[in-house]
Chains A and B, each alone.
Chain A
Amino acid sequence: KAGVTQTPRYLIKTRGQQVTLSCSPISGHRSVSWYQQTPGQGLQFLFEYFSETQRNKGNFPGRFSGRQFSNSRSEMNVSTLELGDSALYLCASSIQDGTTEAFFGQGTRLTVV
């Protein structure tokens, strides 16, 4: 059974640009969550999607947005990139909702220069 797949693995962008990250959940999983991981801050919750609807949202500015498609694949978009957005972005999928076990992808390492 294939795991959670995130693409691309690495990205370098310049300030002011926008970026789109992709996440393919485990087959049959309908919930996809996104996290930002930085040294010292741990994993901070960005948002969760279930059946194409955003069900939960963390405390991030509106520059961070996402969506989920009918096949449960999800994308995360960050507009007007700032240096502080440099981080590892992790996607997690679970069968139904966050009360069940979440399976994580390898992450996308975003560097903003």
Chain B
Amino acid sequence: AQSVSQHNHHVILSEAASLELGCNYSYGGTVNLFWYVQYPGQHLQLLLKYFSGDPLVKGIKGFEAEFIKSKFSFNLRKPSVQWSDTAEYFCAVISYNTDKLIFGTGTRLQVFP
């Protein structure tokens, strides 16, 4: 079955630390990839997306992600996190074969000052 895996369930960092959240998917064929963020009490919003082209994509608030097709991965990175990055992060993948946007189980990030 098609699935999206986020291996880090809960990450705790201090401000200014670097962040990398893993995302792997099990689809074949053409995919579109997304990272969404859900701040406490707010709705899900898009951080960044990859459809085609340069596999290194930049999103809002200094986040970036790299698509590595051979590894079926789309890891999210930020060089220096801030307290305001405390949120839950979801990786999502849609396959052109299924047209279903499937989410990973999410990673809860806590950043301490």
Closest to B106 in A: A42
* Contact assessment for B32 and A99 in the assembled complex, using a CB-CB cutoff below 8 Å: yes
Category for how many chain A residues contact B: 20 to 34
* Contact assessment for A42 and B43 in the assembled complex, using a CB-CB cutoff below 8 Å: no
- Determine if A72 is an interface residue (Cβ-Cβ < 8 Å): no
List A residues at the B interface (Cβ < 8 Å).
3-4, 33, 35, 40-45, 48, 55-56, 58, 90, 92, 97-99, 101-107
Give me 8 A-to-B residue pairs in the complex whose CB atoms sit less than 8 angstroms apart, sorted by A's number.
A43-B90, A48-B100, A55-B99, A99-B51, A99-B94, A101-B46, A101-B49, A103-B46
* Contact assessment for A33 and B101 in the assembled complex, using a CB-CB cutoff below 8 Å: yes
Instruction: Point out the residue from B51, B100, B105 that lies within 8 Å of A98, measured CB to CB.
Output: B100
Instruction: Point out the residue from A3, A56, A104 that lies within 8 Å of B100, measured CB to CB.
Output: A56
List B residues at the A interface (Cβ < 8 Å).
6, 32, 34, 36, 42-46, 49, 51, 90, 92, 94, 96, 98-106
B48 to chain A, nearest CB (A): 10
* Contact assessment for A58 and B49 in the assembled complex, using a CB-CB cutoff below 8 Å: no
* Contact assessment for B104 and A45 in the assembled complex, using a CB-CB cutoff below 8 Å: no
* Contact assessment for A98 and B99 in the assembled complex, using a CB-CB cutoff below 8 Å: yes
Chain B residues lying within 8 Å of A92, measured Cβ to Cβ, are 44, 101
Q: How many A-B residue pairs have CB under 8 A?
A: 57
A102 to B35, CA, bound (A): 11
Chain A residues lying within 8 Å of B43, measured Cβ to Cβ, are 3-4, 90, 104-107
* Contact assessment for B94 and A42 in the assembled complex, using a CB-CB cutoff below 8 Å: no
A90 to B49, CA, bound (A): 20
Chain B residues lying within 8 Å of A102, measured Cβ to Cβ, are 34, 46, 101
A60 to B15, CA, bound (A): 41
Contact of A58 with B100 at beta-carbon distance under 8 Å, contacts A43-B90, A104-B45, A107-B43 already known? yes
Chain A residues lying within 8 Å of B104, measured Cβ to Cβ, are 42
A43 to B107, CA, bound (A): 12
Closest to B103 in A: A43
Chain A residues lying within 8 Å of B34, measured Cβ to Cβ, are 101-102
A33 to B103, CA, bound (A): 13
Contact of A41 with B44 at beta-carbon distance under 8 Å, contacts A48-B100, A56-B99, A98-B99 already known? no
